[in-house]
Amino acid sequence: MTQEDYLTLDPKETTTVQLQGILQGAIAPRPIAFASSMDKNGNINLSPFSFFNMFSSRPPVLIFSPARRVRNNTTKHTLENVREMPEVVINIVSYAIVEQASLASCEYPEGVNEFTKAGLTQLPSIKVKPPRVAESPASFECVVKEIISLGTEGGAGNLIICEVVLAHIKKEILTENGVIDPQKLDAVARMGADFYCRAHGENVFVVPKPNVKLGIGFDQLPTAIRNSKVLSGNDLGKLANVEKLPEGNFSSDEAVHLQVKKILSENKVEEAWRSLTFNLEL
């Protein structure tokens, strides 16, 4: 690859619309904070935000960012609400309610309740005043600890730092061990433009965490394997995540590597190593 193969952009020389499109298209998928808030007069607002994630577990902190509108530099009702009443409920968007969440993103006039517009059910919260979404598989009651403005131009974010004071997880999405089953959660996330993605079915896969034992790394893979014309970077990553390199000689035969590639697609790493060492080159 050469530099000519890349579209290179200087943010200072790129329009806000183009820059936002590039950022949202590349930094994806992004989880969605379906935030319910309330102003000082008790008017309820419900709106989705994809500039969102978790940033701490003790204390449990979530952050989402309602950006200033690019076209006219105005701020959103959610931001104004949490400034008046620093409480919010962050609801998780599942596939079952994604269209309703999208509908709630319409820019209705101030004072309009998006729960009503989107056909969603208000469920009373316990520790904060804004209600939670009954249809959401998980909701987090939060107090707003800080709001950080990132700028004054259209497109500038406003980080709303929220501490979770109560979590509500539907039992139906839990496994027997009490952990959340991603298939049952069926969460959706935002991509760029009008694209979404669904964390469900074959889209959900397992990558073992190398946080207990150190993997040997690419540099310790035998040359016959590291220079394979068949095995991909992901394949080699799985092989390099073992704690210790097996003893023996290793095959460079492409037919063997094709067999190993199939075995690795089933995440059978030990079996893959056995195949690589069993089919010895004499």
Express each pLDDT in 191-236 by its tens digit.
999 999 999 999 998 887 766 788 999 999 999 999 999 999 999 9
- Are 174 and 240 within one domain? no
Domain assignment present for residue 157? The answer is: yes
> How many structural domains comprise the chain?
2
Query: Domain end: 162, 180, 203, which one?
Result: 203
- Are 176 and 264 within one domain? no
- Are 125 and 164 within one domain? yes
Task: For residue range 244-263, list pLDDT tens digits in order.
Answer: 998 888 999 999 999 999 99
- Are 227 and 192 within one domain? no
**Mean pLDDT of all residues in 69-97:** 95
Q: How confident is the model at residue 280 (pLDDT cuts 50, 70, 90)?
A: very low
Query: Domain end: 203, 232, 264, which one?
Result: 203
- Are 196 and 242 within one domain? no
Non-local CB neighbours of 279 within 8 Å, separated by 6+ positions = 251, 253, 256
Domain assignment present for residue 68? The answer is: yes
Provide Rg for the chain, Cα atoms: 24
Structure tokens at 197: 């993605």
241 and 221 Cβ atoms separated by less than 8 Å? no
**Which amino acid type is present at position 28?**
A
Domain assignment present for residue 94? The answer is: yes
- Are 164 and 227 within one domain? no
Domain assignment present for residue 208? The answer is: no
- Are 255 and 170 within one domain? no
Residues 259, 276: Cα–Cα separation, whole Å = 9
- Are 99 and 165 within one domain? yes
Q: Give pTM, 2 decimals.
A: 0.90
DSSP label at 5? Answer: G
- Are 172 and 231 within one domain? no
Q: How confident is the model at residue 74 (pLDDT cuts 50, 70, 90)?
A: confident
To 5 degrees, how large is the angle CA 249–CA 252–CA 258? 120
Structure tokens at 231: 């095995």
Maximum CA pair distance of the chain? 82
Q: Is the dihedral of CA 81, 76, 105, 144 positive or negative?
A: negative
More confident call, 53 vs 75: 53
Domain assignment present for residue 31? The answer is: yes
**Mean pLDDT of all residues in 90-98:** 98
Give me the domain span that covers residue 18: 3-203
- Are 163 and 223 within one domain? no
Domain assignment present for residue 212? The answer is: no
Residues 105, 263: Cα–Cα separation, whole Å = 45
Domain assignment present for residue 209? The answer is: no
Domain assignment present for residue 111? The answer is: yes
**Angle at which helices 254-265 and 269-278 pack, to 10 degrees?**
170
- Are 199 and 222 within one domain? no
Task: State how far the alpha carbon of 114 is from the alpha carbons of 130, 135, 192, in Å.
Answer: 13, 14, 24
**Mean pLDDT of all residues in 55-74:** 94
* Letter string b/e over residues 92-122, b meaning 16 or more CB atoms within 10 A of that residue's CB: bbbeebbebbbbbbeebeeeebbbeebebeb
- Are 170 and 246 within one domain? no
